A and B are shown apart, each in its own frame.
Chain A
Amino acid sequence: MQRQLILEPAVDRPQRKAHAQDAWLPMEIELRDTWFPLAHSNHVGETPVRRAMHRQTAYLWRDRGQAMATEFLPGQRSKAFSPFTAGTGYYPCCEYFGYLWVWYGNPEHADEALIPDIPFLPRDGVGIPNYMRTSVRFDGNALLSVENLLDLTHADFLHGEVIGGEGEAESDEISFDHTSETLTRVRHVVGKPVSPVMRWLGGVRAKYQEFRSTLHVHLRSNVCISYPRFRPGFDIPNIQTFVPSGPYRSRVDQIFSLGDAPTPFRQLMPRMAYVVGPQDNAVVRPQNPRYRAAPLRPDQHSRFDAPGVRYRYLMKKLWQRQQTGDYRYLPDAKDASDVRSLLGMDG
């Protein structure tokens, strides 16, 4: 048994009053009745692949070309199955936008209209080049990874060699909008040094550029539709799927849509996920135990955290609702609506 020492602070500060509503325990949140994009469609074949949605295991495989998501390995149906498959062992599943989507929740509520719209990807998933797909592991809770994306000011520091500029900009404005099921954050930066990846791979020769990044987050599934626009430069639309693999890990199957970008940027930019991902991991991983069951010490925020604070509020609200057995989508939820204008694709 190690001894415990309490250290003396350098400055006497009055203890800040902690409020229960400030508590943020992302590991406890497990939202149901949602579609998880569990795998790239082209990763699923006749040999089953194992995936997880929270604590629930799913085996993905094809039977004569038809995608299946089951609680059992093919040919090994021997146990009782969970309510997630209504005892059948088969999860509701379907294929759209190049993913195999699996329903997590009451199978009776599974509705394909609830699959998020991804306007820059073909709905049938046909024609997405393999080099635009990546799969990245995150050693952190999925919600912490979503927060990581919401506050993009981290990119200047963590991904400096890809994004460039350590907090240098003429102006940096953050705004957001939300429904009960989605949160949309817009970051607009003017006078930002051109990112190295755009300069060296994209041929952008300007010194500064304008950057408008829109992130559309689906709260239940952690599906993040990202639409960054660089001027001068190009758009880098992409989708990031933070599928919770238990409370401490998440898996991201990304698809980029870079059809309008020049070569070699188009081919190499998706590979940056394998540079950026581990950099994010370096901070998300040690966050994990510190958000697990900490004593109530609220996080401090700057104005850049407004979307993140709202995200926590919306997630807790949804979680509280589900705790009482209310899994409904409220009328303001427009999951399958066209989000082109929201993402700034029209401008």
Chain B
Amino acid sequence: MWFPVAGSEQVKAGEVYAAQVGDQELVLFRNGGGDICVLEDRCPHRRVPLSLGKVIDGQLRCAYHGWTFDGKDGHCVAIPNLDDAEHIPASLCATAFRTAEFAGFIYVAVAGEGAGDEEFPCYPPAGFHYEKIDSGCAVVSVSSQEYLAAMLDGPHILLAIRGINISDFYIGDVTREGGCLSVDRTAIWTLKAKPHEKLWGLSTLALRTQVCPDQSVVRLQLLDAGEEILLAAVIAVVPGKRGTSQLHWRCYYSPNYLRSAPRGVRLRAARGAPFDVFAAVNGQRLADLMAGPSVELTVSGSTEADSAPAERIVLSDVSEVETSPTTEENL
């Protein structure tokens, strides 16, 4: 299985980028050929993060003592001040990880799950013609599993599409395809934060949210009345340290995006980036979000990772609290 860890834009030639997958710290950079390289973010010499180092001639040099590593196999290729005749043993090496870059995302292979070329999860829908792409990244203080669940229950608290009000009125039930869950909800063109109720009856748009917990990916599609895709977005939700999540997203816009919007909305929505993933999640709104389609993440058919037990505090039931006996005698 391929697991997304960063957007392609984040790893620029000649620069290093520190990423995490859970507790595993990674350093990403490009070698001389522009290929992506992923090493453990830990110099094998004195454990200093390699992400503090520099890319020199397509190889990564540690900031501490200058040990230099090849990105493809992790071998140490240079130690400063060694004599020309001195040989660096092959045993001196950093840990390199199998990696791939596809459609604007950088992936690492998960051990023992036979990652192949056909499995890249982050891509625009087949046959979707788009004219523009936006991308971005953020770190949110919500665990990846909670984030994925919230994306099913209330994407409006996690992202915004300019000129669109996303409702929590689900159209039908959750559908399951492979390991992914999908749900549609109504959406309307409006500039108001809280449009009049009667507008919902006239809503002509739908937002499709597809959550793939195995790959930790969310795919979104904004559909018009004819189910033509106006906008498609992919968000890689990478588990980070201390219960945080790193978000790497790309949004693809159809040339027809905004065509069906009312004139006033079209003029306003055309200014600036229409799609945005919030870098800060409002804790109160998250806490108030009622469980909906996300309950499907924990029912049979979901993966083991999906159903990892959440920390649970059990409150004593009022009916079990010992009180003075209520008997007929008392009455």
- B111 adjacent to chain A (CB < 8 Å): yes
A-contact bits for B180-199, CB 8 A (1 contact / 0 none)? 00000000000000000000
Question: Chain B interface: which size bin?
Answer: 35 or more
Output the least CB separation between A17 and chain B (Å).
12
Instruction: For chain B, residues 117 to 165, give those with C-beta under 8 angstroms from any C-beta of chain A.
Output: 143-145
Cα-based distance from A151 to B48 in the complex (angstroms): 14
- A158 adjacent to chain B (CB < 8 Å): yes
Contacts of A88 in B (CB 8 A): none
Q: In the complex, are the beta carbons of A287 and B46 less than 8 A apart?
A: yes
Pick out which of these stretches binds chain B: A128-136, A252-260, A297-305, A315-323.
A297-305
Q: In the complex, are the beta carbons of A10 and B73 less than 8 A apart?
A: yes
Known: A1-B308, A11-B74, A11-B96. A6 touches B111 (CB 8 A): yes
Output the least CB separation between A142 and chain B (Å).
16
Instruction: For chain B, residues 13 to 39, give those with C-beta under 8 angstroms from any C-beta of chain A.
Output: 21-24, 38
- A181 adjacent to chain B (CB < 8 Å): no
Q: In the complex, are the beta carbons of A151 and B143 less than 8 A apart?
A: no
- A169 adjacent to chain B (CB < 8 Å): yes
- A153 adjacent to chain B (CB < 8 Å): yes
The SS class assigned to the B binding surface is: loop
Cα-based distance from A19 to B18 in the complex (angstroms): 31
Cα-based distance from A189 to B72 in the complex (angstroms): 33
Task: Select from chain B the residue with minimum beta-carbon distance to A157.
Answer: B66
Cα-based distance from A194 to B176 in the complex (angstroms): 68
One of A4, A11, A283, A304 near B81 (C-beta < 8 A): A304
- B293 adjacent to chain A (CB < 8 Å): no
- A291 adjacent to chain B (CB < 8 Å): yes
Known: A283-B48, A283-B64. A9 touches B96 (CB 8 A): yes
Q: In the complex, are the beta carbons of A287 and B48 less than 8 A apart?
A: yes
- B281 adjacent to chain A (CB < 8 Å): no
Q: In the complex, are the beta carbons of B63 and A7 less than 8 A apart?
A: no
Task: Select from chain B the residue with minimum beta-carbon distance to A305.
Answer: B45
- A55 adjacent to chain B (CB < 8 Å): no
Q: In the complex, are the beta carbons of B108 and A156 less than 8 A apart?
A: no
- A64 adjacent to chain B (CB < 8 Å): no
Cα-based distance from A11 to B97 in the complex (angstroms): 8
One of A7, A16, A282, A286 near B109 (C-beta < 8 A): A7
Contacts of B98 in A (CB 8 A): 7-10
- B269 adjacent to chain A (CB < 8 Å): no
Q: In the complex, are the beta carbons of A299 and B48 less than 8 A apart?
A: no
B-contact bits for A283-316, CB 8 A (1 contact / 0 none)? 1001100110010000111111100000000000
One of B63, B96, B143 near A157 (C-beta < 8 A): B63
Size of the A side of the interface (Cβ < 8 Å), in residues, is: 40
Contacts of A166 in B (CB 8 A): 66, 80
- A113 adjacent to chain B (CB < 8 Å): no
Task: Select from chain B the residue with minimum beta-carbon distance to A155.
Answer: B65
B-contact bits for A224-251, CB 8 A (1 contact / 0 none)? 0000000000000000000000000000
Known: A2-B144, A287-B47. A151 touches B72 (CB 8 A): no
- Chain B residues with CB under 8 Å of chain A are 3, 21-24, 38, 42, 44-49, 52, 61-67, 72-74, 76, 79-83, 86, 91-93, 95-99, 108-112, 115, 143-145, 216, 239-240, 243, 305, 308-311
Per CB-CB distance, the 4 closest pairs between chain A and chain B, nearest first, are: A167-B80, A172-B81, A10-B96, A8-B109
Ordered by A's residue number, 29 sampled pairs between the chains whose C-beta atoms are within 8 Å are A2-B144, A5-B21, A5-B22, A6-B110, A7-B24, A7-B98, A8-B112, A8-B115, A9-B96, A9-B97, A10-B74, A11-B74, A16-B91, A153-B66, A153-B81, A154-B66, A156-B66, A156-B81, A157-B64, A158-B63, A169-B81, A172-B81, A283-B52, A286-B49, A287-B46, A290-B47, A302-B82, A302-B92, A305-B45
